Amino acid sequence: MSAEHDRLFIRNFSLTLVGLVLFTIVIILAALAIHNQLEPSENPAREAARLDRLQPVAGVFAGETGRAAAAAAAAAAAAAEPQVAFGGSLDGALIYERACASCHEVGAAGAPLMVANAWAGRIEQGMETLVANAINGIGAMPPRGGRRDLSDEQIEISVAYMLDMLD
Ligand code: HEC
């Protein structure tokens, strides 16, 4: 091998190395440029793992006693919900039969019977007053006929039903 040949080889080899180094730098710069343009993406697996870490370490299982206590608490909450009479029915006839007829059908406690002349003077007061008196109670009639779970709307509907019965 001649010295000339060696020199040529070293020169070419060096040029190749320099070329490769430059190429590497270019690739790195390009990668950085692209990376900076990308939105930083949320890793859903990492988010799930984070939420998982925030979970309480353990639930308390209090056995049958605990279950019974939970059921009792739920029942108490349900009972505390305001209950509307007759499942909230807006059927005037149904409400009248079940809550008003006991007095108004027989004249109990001096309740006006369901005949026109018993109501003549009362009707003059107007629907609003009749309903208000039925809600608040009047004379021997207790508020809402004694059914405090009747809504204002239900009282109004049953009064309207009673007045309809008169003619
Ligand atoms: C416990 C018996 C009783 C029950 C139950 C009852 N009422 Fe009466 N009601 C009366 C009596 C007594 C009066 C007459 C009061 C008075 O004028 O002194 C009356 C009067 C009324 C009047 C006339 C009020 C006025 O201003 O003149 C209306 C309207 C009325 N009742 C509606 C109802 C409705 C609706 C129901 C059912 C939700 C009902 N009542 C249930 C006893 C009862």
Evaluate: CB of 159 within 6 angstroms of ligand 1.
yes
Average pLDDT over residues 36-62: 81
* Beta carbons within 8 Å of 152's beta carbon, 6+ residues apart: 131, 135
The distance of Cα 10 from the centroid of its chain, to the nearest Å, equals: 80
What are the tens digits of pLDDT across the range 112-125? Answer: 999 999 999 999 99
Evaluate: CB of 102 within 6 angstroms of ligand 1.
yes
Q: Would you call 11 exposed, middle or buried from its count of C-beta atoms within 10 A (0-12, 13-18, 19+)? A: exposed
What are the tens digits of pLDDT across the range 57-81? Answer: 777 777 788 888 888 888 888 877 7
What are the tens digits of pLDDT across the range 4-39? Answer: 999 999 999 999 999 999 999 999 999 999 988 887
pLDDT of the residue at 34:
92
DSSP symbol at 151:
-
Please give the mean pLDDT across all residues of the chain.
Answer: 90
Alpha helix locations (H) across the chain? 3-37, 44-54, 63-80, 92-95, 101-104, 116-123, 127-136, 152-166
How far, in Å, CA of 53 to CA of 108, rounded?
Answer: 70
Evaluate: CB of 141 within 6 angstroms of ligand 1.
yes
Cα 164 to ligand 1 centroid, rounded to whole Å: 15
